[in-house]
Every structure is written in structure tokens, then in C-alpha cells.
Structure 1
Amino acid sequence: MANASSRKPPAAPPDYMPARVDPCLAMLVDKPPTGADWAFEVKWDGYRLAVHIEPHRVRIITRGGYDWTDRFPSIASAALQLEVQSAILDGEAVVLDEQGRSDFGMLQRALGRRPASHAPDEIIFFAFDLLYLDGCDLRRLPQRERRRLLEQVLNGRDDAIRLSEEVEADGDEFLRIACAHGIEGIIAKHRERPYRPGRRSDWLKITCTRRDSFATVGYKPSVVSGAMGRLLLAARRGGELVYVGGCGTGWTQAESRKLREVLQEIATDSPAVNLKRKSAVFCEPVLVAEVEYRAWTDEGKLRHPSFKGIRERADDATVYELK
């Protein structure tokens, strides 16, 4: 590892170490940017954290400003081993599955208070930015310089704190490979930009989406007269339908009203799924909704579903089959 003097930026009066830093947030876009000014990383699916390393303690702060140090003991312990006097690391706490992919459900189980199949010491903090180092506020520096310093601080580490690797690749190709491997998406960062709080175009996120067909088994009315609040969806498991969540986006108000009228015509008092929802209107499962979504939750529900269209089951529409 390089010594402290070799990794520090040019000498300057000591900067005040902030008690909390509002995080830089990535803007969602449809396609990766192009050009040499952009660096790419994997998009981790976990909890965004800032690890504050101070002379006599470590504090782990959530994106919302809560102190969760006691919930991440392995990360706090690893932070004390870093050869720094003071630092703020920005990154994501994750639990990795057998394929090395971050799994939010596994992370939630590891953090749960009840006995779980995943222990807190399985949680890994992938650091992707360095905001403060040994008396110097680095947020004003360009991303490429902050990255260089971060790599030196975390050089060769393989414990509970690790470097989130940059990937030297074309953005479109990296996204294709990431999606093919079941990764949530990728992040693009402009190499010349400082670290600024809030959602900006300095950082971009491009997510992998899935699209499948699900049986419509009912809806929940909207508070808006004549509109629909949520479409209730089901997948097939064996010879029965299983509820997989509700979808409340993807349509205009006019489309929502029309869809509610169509579903009202096939309403039934005998739900096709084992589900009780207050104010829900159940219908015969003769229509299939095309839905775009990010992934599956740990409870077997669709994550971030968005409605794309609807067809009749008779129209050779294959309902998603749960494994």
C-alpha cells in the first residue's frame, strides 16, 4: 500500500470534517453515455451508506442521516483497519449470492432481528467514492482524482470493505453483459465532475428491466373518480394462480378509466387467488397484462412493475410460470 504522503492531494489548510454528507444520486436514463469522460461500475442493490472514520471512532450513516453503526459491526471493524487518520467513504452495503450478485432480500435477512439464513458478517461494503481524507475535503475534486485516492486507500483489501471496481468497457456492451448475468444495472460517472449532493447528471444509472405476462385477477379503485389505483397480478405455479403484487403505474388517466371499465365487466365474487384486500374488486382471470419490472422481491413479488398493455388469455398470451 502506498504511504499516506503519496496519496494526499496537494497541501492545503485542514478542512472541517462534515458530520454528514448529503449523497450524490444517479439520474435514471435509458442508455449508457458514450465518450472517454465516463467511467462505469456495477449498480449495487443494497443500502447506501457513508462510513465516517474519525480519530477515535467509526460512524456509519445511512442516506437518510441515521446512525446505523451498530447494525454493521464487520464494516465498522474493517474501517478501523484502514491506514487513514480520518476519511469518509461513500458506498453500498450488500450481501452477495452464490453468483456474486448483490441481493437486497438476502441483505434484509442479514439485518433482521430474527434468526436468519444470512449473518451480519456476510455484509460487504463496496466503496465507490472518497469524500474526505486526512484533513482534506475531496468533494471539490474531479471524480477521476477522488477515484485515484480511493484506489490507493483500499488497495488489495478483501474484507468487509472493498473497492467497487470500475469497468473498462463500452457502456452498451457492459449493460448487455450486466443484464445477461442478472445484475440490476450499471452506473456511469463523469470523470471531470466534483461530488455534488442530489440527483444530477454527474452520475447516471441504467437499469436492466424484465418484461413478462401476468394474469389480471382484480384491481383496487383509485381515489380519482372512475380511475384505477392498482392492477392486481398473478403468475402460474403448477395448475393454479399465485398473487405476485400490484401495479400502479404505466397508464394515462384515460387508459386507467378504460381498463377499470373492462375489468368491472368481468368482476367476480370468487377470487382466482388466495388474497384478501380491503376495497379490492376481483375479476375473472381472462386478461393478461404485459408488465415491465426490475426484479423479484424476497417475498415473491414484482419489484417496480410498470404496465405496458393488456391482452386476452385466448390471444395465445402465456402467463408467467413461477419456478
Structure 2
Amino acid sequence: MARASSKKTDVAPIDPMPARIDPCLATLVDKPPKGPDWAFEVKWDGYRLAVHIEPGRVRILTRGGYDWTERFPSIADDARRLGVKTAILDGEAVVLNDQGRSDFGMLQRAFGRFPSAVEAEAIVFYAFDLLYLDGRDLRRLPLRERRRLLEPLVAGREGAIRLSEEVQADGDEFFRVACAHGLEGIIAKRVEKPYRSGRGEWWQKITCKRRDSFVIVGFEPSTVPGHLGRLLLAARKGEELVYVGGCGTGWSNELSRELRKLLEEMVTKSPAVNLRRKNAVFTEPVLVAEVEYRAWTDDGKLRHASFKGIRERADDAAVFALT
């Protein structure tokens, strides 16, 4: 597809650039789909972002529509060097660990959630879709065409913006290899489908372990002074929050102190859930914990839950909903 120009002699109309696009979200399924109309990618463990490139400015928007440009200066700087007049890139911001795997905890430290030695420059944006380019809205095009336009822009780059590689492979084998290498999972996408905001079957995610987000409604202090013993977690049920158990592992000694200090600033005497526990300290339900777990108990509690990171509930973090 030829890029559109701003000249009035163009036959093709210029599409107005959207101020914001609700992202396409993947539906969780148990196993990878089969067939030639599916392509696969690594499931990145980071923050979903849209990079808007416009004449004279770059905006970086979160999934919930918040402008976080200042939190990702290296991505914004690299976006200015892509050589396009206007574009919207869809992708994920991550920090890679020593094994080359995305690490959500390291990402939070890199943009200042907690004190850290991780530099902000370590954040990398893996672009996996192109929604707008030089005056043309690309969402109506099938994924294979959007990828064809995306790859020349970002493929082979080693800067802050890189290409999320697409894999044409057997889904079951790719999933097995991904889990064996300690990745979070994989994403499957229908190559002939246009871009559609919201959750649908055309994008699917298959995770190596169960992982969801739950509202932090309180904590239990550790027997070690100043440390965190256990997070108290809740899921959504209609308009209410329901207690689903706790999480007492997944953090270092340093992070335990940092989480305890953060939560102590949010203590409330009005619990968000109907729960009575002797040592519970209840907090305002404004933070969301990413939790990895094995299963649910018969009485509706998380089994073997392990903490992976926190998000702000205000940023449209997807809290697990009970049916």
C-alpha cells in the first residue's frame, strides 16, 4: 500500500488520526488454535501501550488512555527517529532480564515504582501492530497487511522500539517451547482479520500458568518488623469486591519493605470486603496485584498464589471477575 500524502491531488481520502484507540484484547483459551490462518507471538510481560507519532510531538498512551509519555522518555525519543509523519504503534513496554525474558517487576522499578538500580533506558517497546500510518487508518486492513507495513519501520532495530517477531509454526509446539524457556505464554492472531477494539476470538492468549489481577484490599504484617506478611486480595462480582484469599510469596526482602511502606499510606477503617481477620490491616482498594496461581479451592480461594507485580486500578487494570 502506498503512503497517502497531504496534497489535494490525491485520489485516496486522508483519514483523520484518532486521538485514542481502544486496544484489541486477547481472549484466554486453554490451548493454541490450529490452521494456516493463525500466526503466533511471544506473550510479553509488561505494559500495553500505544505510541502516537504526530508532527511536532509524540504521545505514549496506556491501555486505559492515560498519557505516560514522561515515564517512557527513551521510547518517545526513538519514536521521533522512525521517519514517519504520523503513526500509531500498538505494542508492549518491557524490561528484559539476563535470560532475555520480559520481567514485570524490573519494568516497575525502571520507571520508578520502587527504588531500583534498573535504568529507565532499559525499557524496550515491542511493536506488534500498526494502526495508522502517514494519513491512513489501517485498522480495516487484515493483520498480515498491517504487519507488512509495520516491519520495514521497526524490524532489525536495536533501539528502544523493536519488532515483536511473528512466528509461523505449529501452535502446540511453539507453546511447549515457550513454557520450557520460562516465558509467560504465547499470543495467537488471525492473520486475515482487521483490527477490532475490545476482546474477541481473533486474538487469543495461552498462558503457561494461570495468572490474573486482583484488587489489594489489605495486608497482614510479617513477624519481621517493617515487612509484609501477606496481601489480602479481592475479585469483582458485579459491582462489589469479594475476598478470594491471600498471597504471601513472590517478593524479596527489599520489596517486602517497600510494599509495606506503600500500603501503609493507604490504610482505611472502611474495608472494601466483608472480612474479619485478627491481624488484617485494610487499605483503600486502589492497587491491583498481578498474581500467578495454580487453581481455585472449593471455597473460592486462590491456591498457591505468588505475587508478580502491581498496577494502578485507575488505569483500567483488568481485575478478575467471578461469575
TM-score, normalised with respect to structure 1: 0.67
Give the drift of 1:113.
5.7
Match of 1:8 in 2: 3
* C-alpha contact 1:7 1:149 (8 A) present in aligned 2: no
Distance in 2 between residues matched to 1:137 and 1:221, nearest whole Å: 40
Segments of 4+ in structure 1 off by > 6 A?
A: 219-222
- Please give the residue correspondences for 1:202-217 in structure 2 after superposition, counting only pairs within 5 Å: 202-209=202-209
Output the aligned Cα RMSD: 3.5
Distance of aligned partners of 1:232 and 1:65 in 2 relative to their CA distance in 1, 3 Å threshold: closer
Aligned-residue offset at 1:277: 1.7
Q: Would the aligned equivalents of 1:126 and 1:164 in 2 still touch at CA under 8 Å? A: yes
CA distance in 2, matches of 1:89, 1:220: 34
Give, as a single letter, the amino acid of the residue that structure 1 aligns with 2:296.
F
Q: Quick one: distance in 2 between partners of 1:17 and 1:307?
A: 45
The offset of 1:278, in angstroms, is 4.7
Q: Which residue of 2 aligns with 1:117?
A: 117
Give the aligned partner of residue 277 of structure 1. 280
Structure 1 residues 111, 220: CA separation in 2 closer, same or farther (over 3 Å shift)?
closer
- 1:1-323 correspondence to structure 2 within 5 Å: 8=3, 12-112=12-112, 115-209=115-209, 229-232=243-246, 276-278=279-281, 302-304=291-293, 306-308=295-297
Shift of 1:202: 1.1
Output the amino acid matched with 1:20.
Answer: R
3-state SS of 2:75 partner: helix
**Change beyond 3 A, Cα 1:232–1:24:** closer
Instruction: Please list the CA deviations of residues 285-306 of structure 1 after superposition, one character each: whole Å capped at 9, or x if unmatched.
Output: xxxxxxxxxxxxxx9x953553
Aligned twin of 1:238:
none
Check the 8 A contact 1:88/1:131 in 2, yes or no: yes
Give the conservation status (yes or no) of the 8 Å contact 1:12–1:136: no
For residues 105 and 113 of structure 2, the distance between their equivalents in structure 1, rounded to whole angstroms, comes to 14
Q: What per-residue deviation string (whole Å, max 9, x for no partner) do you get for residues 126-185 of structure 1?
A: 000000000000000000000110001113211000000011221001111111111111
Cα distance in 2 for residues equivalent to 1:220 and 1:145: 42
Counterpart contact for 1:186–1:205, Cα < 8 Å: yes
1:113 & 1:230 partners in 2: Cα distance?
26
Distance change in 2, residues 1:140/1:94 (3 Å): same
Structure 1 residue 229: Cα displacement:
3.6
Alignment gaps of 5+ in structure 1: 1-5, 212-216, 236-241, 243-266, 270-275, 280-298, 311-318
Separation of aligned partners in 2, 1:220 and 1:87: 39
Q: Distance in 1 between matches of 2:69 and 2:49?
A: 10
Amino acid at match of 2:142: P
Partner letter of residue 295 of structure 2?
Answer: S
Tell me the matched-pair count. Answer: 244
**Secondary structure, in 3 states, of the residue corresponding to 1:186?**
strand
Q: Is the 8 A contact 1:43 1:205 kept in 2?
A: yes
Relative to the length of structure 2, the TM-score reads: 0.67
**Which of structures 1 and 2 has the bigger CA Rg?**
1
What's the secondary structure of 2:30's corresponding residue? coil
Q: Is the 1:49–1:93 Cα contact (8 Å) retained in structure 2?
A: yes
Partner Cα separation in structure 2 for residue 7 and residue 155 of structure 1:
19
Displacement of 1:11 in angstroms is: 6.5
| One-letter amino acid of the counterpart of residue 307, structure 1 | W
Is the Cα–Cα contact under 8 Å of residues 233 and 247 in structure 2 kept in the other structure? no
Conserved in 2, the CA contact under 8 Å of 1:7 and 1:152?
Answer: no
Amino acid at match of 1:98: D
Instruction: Please name the residue that 1:248 is paired with.
Output: none
Q: Tell me, yes or no, if the aligned pair for 2:234 and 2:243 is still in contact at 8 Å.
A: yes
Matched residues in 2 for 1:302 and 1:88: separation? 31
Output the CA distance in 2 between the equivalents of 1:233 and 1:152.
Answer: 44
Runs of 5+ unmatched residues, structure 2: 5-9, 212-229, 250-255, 257-276, 283-288, 306-323
Give the superposition deviation at 1:114: 5.4
Change (3 A) 1:152 1:306: same
Q: Give the Cα–Cα distance (whole angstroms) in 2 for the partners of residues 183 and 193 of structure 1.
A: 26
Q: Which residue of 2 aligns with 1:285?
A: none
- Give aligned-pair identity as a percent: 62
Indicate conservation of the 8 Å contact 1:60/1:69, yes or no: yes
Encode CA deviations 1:18-60: one digit per residue, 9 max, x unaligned.
0101100001100100000000000001000000000111000
